[in-house]
Amino acid sequence: MDNGHCCSQALVLDNPVREDARRRLLSVKGHVEGILRMLSDDKVYCVDVLKQLKAVDGALGKIGELVLHSHLRHHVVTAQERGDADRIVEELIELLKYR
């Protein structure tokens, strides 16, 4: 299946980074489940929900930073020697649209 990436392109995360991201995502999952419970309770204060949403947003941002850092280290800095620098630049431009 061709999605615009050659077969050498993969999620390259060092094991400690991968485990950190995984642990953080499990925490986010727990927070989201807690928020869902909060939304079922008419007595929960709106600001409390907003605080939890902000915590989830921050945690997801940190996970994104971990993956981006890995991408920069393993794919971007080696793009010129691989000969795909233009493609990598276009990927980064596209990514910045979502930040």
Residue 84 forms part of a structural domain: yes
CA distance readout (Å), 81 to 11, 73, 95? 19, 14, 22
CATH number of domain containing 90? 1.20.58.1000
The total domain count for the chain is: 1
Residue 68 forms part of a structural domain: yes
d(CA 37, CA 41): 7
* Containing structural domain, residue 83: 15-96
Whole-model pTM? 0.76
For residue 20, pLDDT beyond 50:
yes
Residue 92 forms part of a structural domain: yes
Closest CA to 74 of 17, 32, 20: 17
pLDDT for the residue numbered 8: 54
CA dihedral 18, 21, 22, 27 (to 10 degrees): 160
Residue 10 forms part of a structural domain: no
pLDDT for the residue numbered 36: 97
Residue 1 forms part of a structural domain: no
Tens of pLDDT, residue by residue over 44-84, are 999 999 999 999 999 999 999 998 898 888 888 888 888 88
Residue 61 forms part of a structural domain: yes
> Which of 18-27, 28-37, 58-67, 75-84 comes out lowest in average pLDDT?
75-84
Binned at pLDDT 50, 70 and 90, residue 9 comes out as low
